[in-house]
Amino acid sequence: MKTNKVLLTLISLTFFTSNHASSNENSDLIKPNVVIFYADDLGWQDTTLNDLDDPVVWETPNIAALAKDAINFTNAYSPAPTCAPSRAALLSGLHPAKTGITNVVGGQIPAPHKSEKYISAYFPEGLSPEHLTIAEALKMNGYKTGHVGKWHAGHLQIQSSKNQGFDFVNESRGAHQGPKGKNNRVNYFATHSKKDPYRLSDEKYYPFTKDSPNGISYPTDEVTESALEFMDKNKQEPFFLYLAHWMVHYPIHTKNRELLQYYTDKLGMEFPTKDIPITTGGQTNPYFGAMVTTLDWSLGRVVDYLKKTDDPRNPGKKLYETTYIFFSSDNGGAEQRRDEIMSDNAPLDKGKKYTQEGGIRVPMLISGPNIVKGKTKDVLINQLDFFPTVLSLTNSEIPEKYRAELDGLDISNVLIDDENDVKYENGKPREELWWHYPFGLKSTQQSAIRFGDFKLYKNYLSGDYLLYRLYKNGKRNDLEEMHNIAKQEPEVVKDLSQRLEKYLKDYDAKYPYKDPTRFNDKEHKQQVALIPSIVNDNFDAKSRQVSVTLAKGNTDVVESYALIKISDEAKADKKAKKNKKGKKGKKSKVASTYVKVPVTVTENKLGYTYTVPKEAKEYGIILIDENRFMVKSKFHQLN
């Protein structure tokens, strides 16, 4: 457990001294910088990197330019099809199934969704103190660490980026802040006024048009500016920048009127005068196109700074020559929200929130010192590989108990040695990746495994397997996942399902549970009548122990845990106005979450005890019976 910050500090000093000594012994050894530029909801077909079939409409010249100095991984994947689990996985190096962070908006008491008969399993909201982040790992090794942009890895103070290893933090939405009140996306654009918080730049950038042959201005983006500020202030030491951009996540809008005009012209549309959803299919949303190009502009600003700035630690070199850049997206593209059609992942199937290719396959570039330039590789890569690879590239060390837990692999042999296989420590090539997303609609409650040319899905509610062959003999075959060949390939289904089931068992992956109030049919009536019944639920205030007793004669409990609610300390809202009597304003809203607490079970499985920590605000127990029905105790509030 990562609970002793003093111990980590001592370890950090030890590692830093060791690395510093090594640097003195080898004058050629540099301590490279690391930048992870993480886009939000940027699809595999939203850039020109992997341009298949119909040409990609959105223009990304800076991404294309970086690709000339990088390796473009065409079979690159995010750890999950949604935001929070991918970010937590990238930062911790742990598979979502291992941390339990498998979806967004976690840390809640499990409840059925709308008319669904199943209840999603509990999952935590974000990273907790026992998780070692990549920022903490590099900080141990003498790095200055900075995070700008989106966090989404926990809202409690103990889960904040400031408490997860980052020296510098700015989580502003920047130019992605949506219009409010009377403002909307057709009348709220940045200007050149000095009073405008999104003031247009004097400098000109891509695109170059007839009306603007020298380029156009861009609104001030605090995310980008903070990233440049962090690098400039910390270039005297090795730095790690985690730039997690808010774009191209909805709301879909732009403050750059000239860029919006460029895309409406390109798409043959009239400039919008009413704020109504764009409902045409394909890549026809000019607002989204402007967001993609703005994201590209932000990357260009970062790369341009690195190219123009001398590295004070490595005379004669620019920072660009001593910095590793990892560019990718947290999940596949979000194609539609409500009536608004944003983009199109075709030929990939589906998008965000799906384990199909459109939801997890992402653009990925990696560049830096000694990395081969301008290559395209189809080797299987996952963002879980970033953590161990960065450790290798920076010659950084962490305690073995944390290294042994990492779920990704060191891909530096592919980056530096131009090899075509990612390898395990025993030298065996990796052939598979897997995902676990038991949420959402019936069709999305799946786990999946990619093995070589094949992709297999396990559907939780139907219990069947789906099999697709994406490639055949190295060539595209069924990338669209249109032809389920499970019946034609029973041996492949057997092999891949066994591999997937082993992962799910080894990682103790959680599945949906049945809601006993929604199974009223004849088939389940008897099972529902025999679900566990709580007859005693007592709390001893002195020992803070809860004792729960079940009635005899019901179905056995196969899984049990307690949930307790914890919160940040409430603070007075300094902005709140005092009332007429001069009393202080109301306390500000505090962040809260539910966390798991283990229970002790008696041998007959009728008695359950657990201890409620002093900081708990509420407590209750969750029981799962042998037929996968969920039973919840009353949740009791504490003063």
The pLDDT of residue 272 = 97
Q: Divide the 639 residues of the chain into consecutive groups of 10 and give the mean pLDDT of each group.
A: 40 39 44 98 97 95 98 98 98 98 96 88 95 98 98 96 97 96 96 97 96 97 98 98 98 98 97 97 98 98 98 96 98 97 97 97 98 97 98 97 98 97 96 95 87 96 93 95 98 98 97 94 94 98 97 97 94 56 62 96 97 97 98 95
Per-residue DSSP letters for 82-95? Answer: SHHHHHHHHHH---
Identity of residue 502: K
pTM > 0.75: yes
Six token digits for residue 503: 């992962």
Sign of the four-CA dihedral 603, 607, 611, 612: positive
- Cα(149)–Cα(333) distance, integer angstroms: 19
200 DSSP assignment = B
The pLDDT of residue 583 = 55
Please list the residues that pair with 624 across neighbouring strands: 559, 630
Question: Please, what's the b/e burial string for 146-176 (b: 16 or more CB within 10 A of its CB; e: otherwise)?
Answer: bbbbbbbbbbbeebbbebbbbbbbbbbbbbb
The pLDDT of residue 572 = 60
The pLDDT of residue 582 = 53
Please list the residues that pair with 562 across neighbouring strands: 597, 621
What are the C-alpha distances in Å from 543 to residues 301, 562, 610, 611, 639? Answer: 58, 16, 10, 8, 16
Within 425-578, residue ranges assigned H as helices are: 490-506, 522-529
- Cα(160)–Cα(213) distance, integer angstroms: 44
Place of tokens 């879980």: 384
